[in-house]
Amino acid sequence: MLKAIVLFFVGVICSTSLHAEQVLRTEKLTHNVYALIGPLTNRNPENLGNNANFGVIVTDDGVVLVDSGATDKGARMIHAAIQNITDKPVKWVINSGGQDHRWMGNGYFKELGATIIASEKAVADQKARRDSQLDRLWSLVGEKGLEGTSYIFADELFSKQKTLKVGNTRIEIYHAGHAHTPGDSYIWLPQHRIMFSGDIVYTDRLLGVGSMSAHKSWIAAFEAMAAKQPEVVVGGHGNPASLSKAKADTYDYLVFLREAVLEFLDQGNSLEDIGKIDQSRFSYLENFGSLKGRNAQRVYEELEWE
pLDDT single digits (tens) 58-79: 999 999 999 999 999 999 999 9
> Mean pLDDT, the chain, as a whole number?
94
CATH number at residue 170: 3.60.15.10
- Is residue 291 domain-resident? no
- Phi, psi (5° rounding) for residue 28? -80, 125
- Is residue 100 domain-resident? yes
| Three-state DSSP state, 38 | coil
Does the pLDDT value for residue 278 go beyond 50? yes
- Is residue 299 domain-resident? no
Distances in Å between the Cα of 7 and the Cα atoms of 2, 11, 13, 143, 221 are 9, 6, 10, 28, 50
Give the pLDDT score at 3. Answer: 47
Does the pLDDT value for residue 296 go beyond 60? yes
Strand partners, 34: 28, 56
How many structural domains comprise the chain? Answer: 1
For 166-194, give one letter per residue: b (16+ CB within 10 A) or e. Answer: beebebebbbbbbbbbbbbbbbbbeebeb
- Is residue 174 domain-resident? yes
Residues 197/233, Cβ–Cβ less than 8 Å: yes
Q: What's the rounded mean pLDDT across residues 230-254?
A: 98
- Is residue 55 domain-resident? yes
pTM of the model: 0.93
- Is residue 223 domain-resident? yes
* Integer Cα distance of 34 and 31 in angstroms: 8
63: containing domain: 20-244
- Is residue 292 domain-resident? no
Give the pLDDT score at 10. Answer: 38
Give the pLDDT score at 305. Answer: 86
pLDDT single digits (tens) 18-55: 467 889 999 999 999 999 999 999 999 999 999 999 99
